[in-house]
Chains A and B, each alone.
Chain A
Amino acid sequence: SQQGEEDPQALSIQEGENATMNCSYKTSINNLQWYRQNSGRGLVHLILIRSNEREKHSGRLRVTLDTSKKSSSLLITASRAADTASYFCARGSGTYKYIFGTGTRLKVLA
């Protein structure tokens, strides 16, 4: 499959805890992006990390990229109930395609 693999498929944590989601892929990339999707809605872009970057931060989000292991992780610190959503990684493929993983469903309990 060309799709990335997110791990875990589902994650349930208490408010205030950190949430970590992982994404693995098989072929080389020029960048990797993370998106969030609230239930029944469209996807919203969170962060893009380029292949020559190892770590990137945006507010409570921290993304790491290990190209030697072909993996990326998304860390959400001090999670809130509003972070409940599905999270997808997407990698560029060829010139215009973006390959999306199947997502991690995160539930943050208040």
Chain B
Amino acid sequence: DVKVTQSSRYLVKRTGEKVFLECVQDMDHENMFWYRQDPGLGLRLIYFSYDVKMKEKGDIPEGYSVSREKKERFSLILESASTNQTSMYLCASSLVSFRSQPNTGELFFGEGSRLTVL
């Protein structure tokens, strides 16, 4: 079974804290994504990575950074958490190389990490 695992289902942090959200996939997928999901706004792409150490900004990268040191692991970092970053964070991966077949891959999602910033 394919699997995308997010390290924490629920987190509560204080304003100004540094937050790490970790995501691991066991499918040898090239592409990994971080989305946030808010009511009425759907899923919005924060960052995308198509290879180790490679990253691209999505639609809402401000206030976030990412790290991909190994193919299977993609981390989302909130350097200084703010209350407007309270959200559900979803990690996803896909196999197909976007360079050869753009957007043809199925996305595999983790269970999500619900972050509350107080």
A-to-B contact residues, CB < 8 Å: 2-3, 30-31, 33, 35, 40-45, 48, 50, 88, 90-98, 100-103
Contacts and interface: CB of A to CB of B under 8 A. Distances in A.
B107 interface: yes
B40 A97 contact: no
Contacts of B4: 42
B111 A3 contact: no
B33 to A, nearest CB: 8
Given A97-B58, A101-B42, A102-B40, A42 B103 contact: no
A40 B107 CA distance: 18
22 contacts: A30-B102, A30-B103, A31-B103, A31-B104, A33-B106, A42-B109, A42-B111, A43-B43, A43-B109, A48-B106, A50-B104, A88-B42, A91-B103, A93-B103, A95-B99, A95-B102, A96-B48, A97-B48, A97-B58, A98-B33, A100-B35, A103-B42
B56 interface: yes
Contacts of A94: 102-103
Contacts of B104: 30-31, 48, 50, 92
Given A42-B90, A92-B102, 5 more contacts: A30-B102, A35-B109, A44-B109, A96-B103, A97-B45
Nearest to B56: A96
B12 interface: no
A33 B56 CA distance: 22
Contacts of B48: 96-97
A97 B56 CA distance: 10
B114 interface: yes
